[in-house]
Structure 1
Amino acid sequence: MKMLILTAGLLGLFMSSAFANDSIQLINKDNDGGTVYQTVNINNKINVATFNLYSGTHSTNALVDYNSGIILYHMPYKRICVVSRMNRDSFPSITQLESMIHEGHALTSLHRSYGISRKVVSHMSELGRPTQAICEGLTTYWATEFQRPYPLVGGRGCAGLNLLILKVNLCGGISLF
């Protein structure tokens, strides 16, 4: 329980719009009629962008650490993180992401699909401080970005995450939902 509180506190530190240079927020209804609160925060001081989906027990977050080149998807309700190396050729730079927000194109989707391996990350310290702070103590899996469609083999499937402008498919044999 203490680890969960510590993780939530550290996550809040990285995701707080008070520390962000730019932020966009959206409140809408989910399929069940409940309220879903979404944010994107960009912090140029530490070169991190965060995507947050606050939806009760299925809240989730994504963090893009431009310094280390890591993208992480944090699913506290499953007590897991999924990390991948950023494809810098196709993922917008932090400046481009900031421009999308300033120009009002924030609802233009960034689509990403990842194949999750069963390989657990063993050395969190190598992934940068933000990733280590958020995922420490959680089972953390490596994922590899791929072009859609994902070849469904051996009972694998995909779970979709819609994080405001970031639309993600996490695919593999790991039960996410």
Structure 2
Amino acid sequence: MENVNQVNQGNVGGRSHQSVNIDNKRKVVNIDNNNGWNSWNTIWDYQTGFMATRIMSKKSCVVVKMNKAVIPDITTLPQAIREKQQDPTKGPARKDIAYTVSPKRITNLSPYGKNIEALCKGIPSYAAYEVKRPSFPFYGGDCIEANILWIVGISLCGEAYGY
């Protein structure tokens, strides 16, 4: 198990705190972003190949298929985070990925694994699908940004339910 904490005082509106917990044995990463009403929690489940983000302000959960070309391998993640914490210009370049959220609710979370099921249980949950960035600027819906310690930028966007 490894834990990484980051306090960001440069955000408009105050402070945010992000912690990353890495469980190499279970192959699960848990990222908590505590920023008041804009807080979120993400699980990366390397065994199932899915990740989910629980968005506090939306009182909902979004489940996506992990893109292994964008999401760092669990074995290299701790070192990448350390390098970025020491000097944001060093280490791997930040990768961005965007998803569009389906308006259709997920009725059964069990296919996504017990970790995601536990994170999303009891709240409306939706699947999201990767979209290509070049066409994305023309999108008119709202987006939630889940940026993981300068390494990965995830955008969850959609018109349904305010995404």
Q: TM-score, normalised by structure 1?
A: 0.77
The answer to whether structure 1 residue 157 and structure 2 residue 142 are counterparts is yes
Shift of 1:99: 3.0
Q: How does 1:39-54 map to 2 (within 5 A)?
A: 39-54=19-34
Measure, in 2, the Cα distance between the counterparts of 1:169 and 1:101: 20
Letter in 2 for 1:173: E
The answer to whether structure 1 residue 31 and structure 2 residue 17 are counterparts is no
Cα pair distance change 1:111/1:78, threshold 3 Å: same
Match of 1:60 among 40, 65, 85: 40
Q: Secondary structure at the match of 1:138?
A: coil
Q: Which residue of 2 aligns with 1:98?
A: 78
- Gaps in structure 1 of 5+ consecutive residues: 1-20
The answer to whether structure 1 residue 78 and structure 2 residue 58 are counterparts is yes
Q: Secondary structure at the match of 1:94?
A: coil
* Identity across matched positions, percent: 31
The answer to whether structure 1 residue 112 and structure 2 residue 97 are counterparts is yes
Cα pair distance change 1:25/1:173, threshold 3 Å: same
In the alignment of these two chains, the number of paired residues is: 153
User: Can you list the C-alpha shifts for 1:143-168, whole angstroms capped at 9, x where unaligned?
Assistant: 01222131645x43333233323321
Contact 2:50-2:65 within 8 A present in 1 as well: yes
Contact 1:26-1:37 within 8 A present in 2 as well: yes
User: Can you list the C-alpha shifts for 1:58-101, whole angstroms capped at 9, x where unaligned?
Assistant: 21111100011111111123210011011224422111213313
Shift of 1:53: 0.9
CA RMSD of aligned residues (A): 2.0
Contact 2:5-2:20 within 8 A present in 1 as well: yes
* Range that drifts further, 136-145 or 105-114: 105-114
- Gaps in structure 2 of 5+ consecutive residues: none
Contact 2:84-2:149 within 8 A present in 1 as well: no
Measure, in 2, the Cα distance between the counterparts of 1:49 and 1:97: 10
Contact 1:40-1:51 within 8 A present in 2 as well: yes
User: Can you list the C-alpha shifts for 1:93-141, whole angstroms capped at 9, x where unaligned?
Assistant: 1112133135x13555332211111121111111101100010111111
